[in-house]
């Protein structure tokens, strides 16, 4: 039986602690008891943890031996800001798929009210990816970058870089991946897609354009579909 995995909120030597909401879930919902064993990520290392104390606001583990874990390909997603409910669903699913980094990008077609509010959503976004990382048995949640301008975002990447564009008609994502190796960056536009000026900015910075097919996908669908393809090809 697969053990449930937790990312420790605090680590002290050979002790790890879940606090607040994590502890409450383990204590009230899963009815944890001393002596039970779980996988615990402590300081970036996966360990076997044995519960030695459990209460509603704190669960304490004794950390045992290190457990081997599979490495994921290093994939960064540059996600143009769009409607928060759909964007947050995408953050959760991208975490489950295994991306290493997500950077919210201010696109020309990103709603200005969303751009202004994006920075205030960062704590919520961190919470979403933390919970999704635990559920999907990751060692750590993806890094969530500060909202960034497109010019800054395209200049801050290295390795293979692909911009998904609905104006690209001849080159598929799968064909583009033939020459790619991690680390890999993928960029996705908002509702309405990238503007011609933005596509030129990507090309001038050395990004390759690719298509996900002939249908028009919502922003969150495009991101999830593309990352699933990439993981299947490169993992």
Domain boundary among 45, 66, 87: 66
Q: Concatenated DSSP letters for 195-223? A: -HHHHHHHHHTTPEEEB--SSPPPHHHHH
Residues 104 and 218 both lie in one domain? yes
One domain for residues 43 and 120 = no
Instruction: Supply the pLDDT for residue 1.
Output: 56
Give dist(CA 182, CA 234) in Å, integer: 8
Which domain range does residue 47 map to?
5-66
Do 152 and 194 reside in the same domain of the chain?
A: yes
- Give the pLDDT of residue 132: 96
Q: Which of 66, 99, 118 is the last residue of a domain?
A: 66
Residues 211, 95: one domain? yes
Residue 143 sits in the same domain as residue 167: yes
Distance from C-alpha of 89 to C-alpha of 163, rounded to nearest angstrom: 21
Note whether 10 and 50 are same-domain residues.
yes
Per-residue confidence (pLDDT) for residue 4, from 0 to 100: 87
The domain that holds 178 is classified in CATH as 3.40.1280.10
User: Is there a single domain that holds both residue 106 and residue 155?
Assistant: yes
- Residues 88, 134 within the same domain: yes
Give the pLDDT confidence score for residue 162 in this predicted structure: 96
Low-confidence ranges of the chain (pLDDT < 50): none
Asked if residue 190 and residue 85 are part of one domain, the reply reads yes
**16 - beta bridge partners?**
11, 61
- Give the CATH number for residue 56: 2.40.240.20
| Number of domains composing the chain | 2
Is 37 in the same domain as 83?
no
Phi, psi of 180 (to 5 degrees): -105, 145
pTM summary value: 0.88
pLDDT of res. 146:
94
The answer to whether residues 201 and 150 touch, using CB atoms and an 8 Å cutoff, is yes
Instruction: Note the pLDDT of residue 157.
Output: 85
Same domain for 132 and 188, yes or no, is yes
pLDDT at 211: 93
Q: Report the pLDDT value the prediction gives residue 155, as an integer from 0 to 100.
A: 86
Q: What's residue 77's pLDDT? A: 98
DSSP strand pairing (45-55 vs 37-42)? antiparallel
What local confidence, expressed as pLDDT, does residue 163 receive? Answer: 96
50 & 139 share domain? no
């Amino acid at each position: 039986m697969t053990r449930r995995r937790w990312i420790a909120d605090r680590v002290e030597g050979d002790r790890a602690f879940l606090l607040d909401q994590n502890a409450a879930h383990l204590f009230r919902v899963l009815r944890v008891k001393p002596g039970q064993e779980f996988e615990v990520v402590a300081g970036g290392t996966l360990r076997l943890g044995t519960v030695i104390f459990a209460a509603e606001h704190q669960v304490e583990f004794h950390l045992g031996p290190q457990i081997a874990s599979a490495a994921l390909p290093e994939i960064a997603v540059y996600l143009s800001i769009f409607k928060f409910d759909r964007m947050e669903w995408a953050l959760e699913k991208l975490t489950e798929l295994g991306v290493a980094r997500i950077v919210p990008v201010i696109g020309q077609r990103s709603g200005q009210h969303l751009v202004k509010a994006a920075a205030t959503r960062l704590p919520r976004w961190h919470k979403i990816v933390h919970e999704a990382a635990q559920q999907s048995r990751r060692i750590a949640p993806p890094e969530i970058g500060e909202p960034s301008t497109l010019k800054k975002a395209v200049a801050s990447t290295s390795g293979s870089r692909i911009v998904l564009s609905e104006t690209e008609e001849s080159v598929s994502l799968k064909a583009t991946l033939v020459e790619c190796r991690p680390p890999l960056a993928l960029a996705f536009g908002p509702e309405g897609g990238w503007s011609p000026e933005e596509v030129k900015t990507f090309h001038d910075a050395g990004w390759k354009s690719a298509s996900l097919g002939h249908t028009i996908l919502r922003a969150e669908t495009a991101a999830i579909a593309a990352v699933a393809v990439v993981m299947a090809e490169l993992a």
